[in-house]
Amino acid sequence: MDPRAGTPAQPSDLIDVDALVGAYYDTEPDLDDPGQRVVFGTSGHRGSAFDGAFNEAHIAATTQAIVEYRRAQGTDGPLFIGRDTHGLSEPAFRTALEVLAAHEVEVHVDARDSWTPTPAVSHAILRHNGAGTSAGVRTQGPGLADGIVVTPSHNPPRDGGFKYNPPDGGPAGSEATGWIADRANAILREGWKGVRRVPVEQALAASTTRKHDYLTAYVDDLANVLDLEAVRSAGVRIGADPLGGASVEYWGAIGERYGLDLTVVNPEVDPRWSFMTLDWDAKIRMDCSSPYAMASLVERMTGGGGAAPYDIATGNDADSDRHGIVTADGLMNPNHYLAVAISYLFGGARPGWGEGTAVGKTLVSSGLIDRVVASLGRRLVEVPVGFKWFVPGLVDGSVGFGGEESAGASFLRTDGTVWTTDKDGILLALLASEITARTGRTPSQLHADLVEQHGRSWYARVDAAATREEKKTLAALSPEQVTATTLAGQDITARLTRAPGNDAAIGGLKVTTADAWFAARPSGTEDVYKIYAESFVSEEHLGEVQAAAKQVVSDALQG
């Protein structure tokens, strides 16, 4: 923990945006360095132009690869493209548009020439492909749309990001991203300057470039997924902090459209994020689940000495796919809010959802969710890390809610059909106000009720050192390689290397007991593995679980 965590950013913390954009155009990546190749993680390719990891070459090559991929898949409808407020997002957007226009791809850009949240792009793709109609969503056949979102999510201002969403509207799966990354790196080796492009002015004026009103389409449709009339009638006071991200214009439009008592706490957009408080490591990071990045909003809600200025305050990251919920009790832990949202939605708030509609969670999310779902008599679908695993269930309506411990979630329309298949931080933030309006209690108060009913838990994530070889071994473990029979004094009830919800490989290990669990996954970028752990016994027991987890993993790796 850096001693400056939670304090306002200083001039020395800010990037030089002109230098960053200059590096985007001037730096040639060195493909002998693995860190300078195109690599798609769970949320696309990310990196900084300063490091030779996110430059014009990468975006030209990746866009060319996407053109070839969608053509091979038979995706011949429009491509919806959006960008966030990071300094590298605008130049990357321009590069992508130059390539797409040169290949005569029909591209739908924001009608306001402004920022577009990730969920608004997912919403646009799905609406084009049939969501919200009696016909339902098509994921095969002619005329299907797909999309690109230019964003590194909550990453620091120096970073850029580029991700592809196929016709199902969600994050692309590993088969697609692997193909796109391999092809993009091949293009870089062959000579990326040979990629066909047209000047950006010509691309913007092309007949294939269309304007799409993402904001109006998304905001007007919110009435079909949330009870905003209840929020208006109850007079819930909302403070929405976009954290300088793509949702900044959306929040004002939502308040006006639905007559809400809603204040945009900070409407400022600055690609340096000079108004932020520093995260745990003294970096500027727009992580709305971090109490340090959210310190100013938390202080506004809890530190004034009198009544909080809002009933509910919320934050979003730069592309608005994550949510942070602040009440008079402070910033909610993401796991706690997910449990409350599930309890509320499946506890009678959505009668249009069928009795067989399941709840989705990642396997590193809190066991409190498991207990809540069991008490509701619902089926739990536990999947590996990555929102892409929820996409099929959200598309066909079999999964009503999909949520990640990292403050990302989405859920169905009130009629039980798909809303978005990418994380929707705006939706989850607004749900907190609906919950407050219809129950008369805040989500943090409702979480206290769940704790009284199901027990308190202690949850944390820590890292442990691992070589590349050890990380490969961990990712390929089988349950039989885990020989331990107890964990922190309790009998082991399950050893998992495949997710019980869809039998997909975890890429690591999860071990459970009656009152605790841990999951270990190798880091994709560092020589460490991540240990997620939770105990329903005590904080001390959580420490025992973490220590035992390291020993269990070490024994399994040594074999």
In this structure, are residues 114 and 81 in contact, taking their beta carbons and an 8 Å threshold? no
**DSSP-derived secondary structure for 205-238:** HSTTEEEE-HHHHHHHHGGGTS-HHHHHHHT-EE
Closest CA to 500 of 491, 512, 490, 484: 512
11-215 matches 458-558 in fold: no
pLDDT tens figures, 46-89: 999 999 999 999 999 999 999 999 999 999 999 999 999 999 99
Closest CA to 312 of 431, 191, 173: 431
pLDDT tens figures, 388-431: 999 999 999 999 999 999 999 999 999 999 999 999 999 999 99
Q: Say what percent of the chain tops pLDDT 70.
A: 99
Closest CA to 273 of 264, 282, 286, 260: 286
Rounded distance between C-alpha atoms, residue 258 and residue 251, angstroms: 11
Q: End-to-end distance of the chain based on CA atoms, in angstroms? A: 34
Domain boundaries, the chain: 11-215, 458-558
pLDDT tens figures, 497-529: 999 999 999 999 999 999 999 999 998 767 888
In this structure, are residues 145 and 70 in contact, taking their beta carbons and an 8 Å threshold? no
- Name beta bridge partners: 486: 491
pLDDT tens figures, 214-272: 999 999 999 999 999 999 999 999 999 999 999 999 999 999 999 999 999 999 999 99
Domain 11-215 adopts which CATH fold?
A: Alpha-D-Glucose-1,6-Bisphosphate; Chain A, domain 3 (3.40.120)
Closest CA to 111 of 215, 245, 262: 215
What integer pLDDT is reported at residue 131 of this predicted model? 93
Helix axes 56-73, 89-102, angle to 10 degrees: 40
432 exposure class (CB count in 10 Å sphere: 0-12, 13-18, 19+): buried
Q: Say what percent of the chain tops pLDDT 90.
A: 89
- Active site (catalytic) residues: 153
User: Over the chain, what is the mean pLDDT?
Assistant: 95
Q: What is the pTM of this model?
A: 0.96
What integer pLDDT is reported at residue 306 of this predicted model? 77
Is the per-residue pLDDT at 307 higher than 90? no
| Beta-strand relationship, 399-404 and 486-487 | unpaired
The tokens for 227 are: 């009870």
Q: Give the residue ranges of DSSP H helices in 384-538.
A: 391-396, 425-439, 443-454, 468-475
**b or e along 322-333 (b: 16 or more beta carbons within 10 Å of the residue's beta carbon)?**
bbbbbbbebbbb
pLDDT band at 540 (very low <50, low <70, confident <90, very high): very high
What integer pLDDT is reported at residue 253 of this predicted model? 98
**What is the tally of helices (H) and strands (E) in the chain?**
17, 23
Q: Which CATH superfamily is domain 458-558 in?
A: Alpha-D-phosphohexomutase, C-terminal domain (3.30.310.50)
pLDDT tens figures, 10-27: 999 999 999 999 999 999
pLDDT tens figures, 1-13: 899 999 999 999 9
Q: How far lies 339's CA from each of 299, 347, 375, in Å?
A: 25, 12, 12
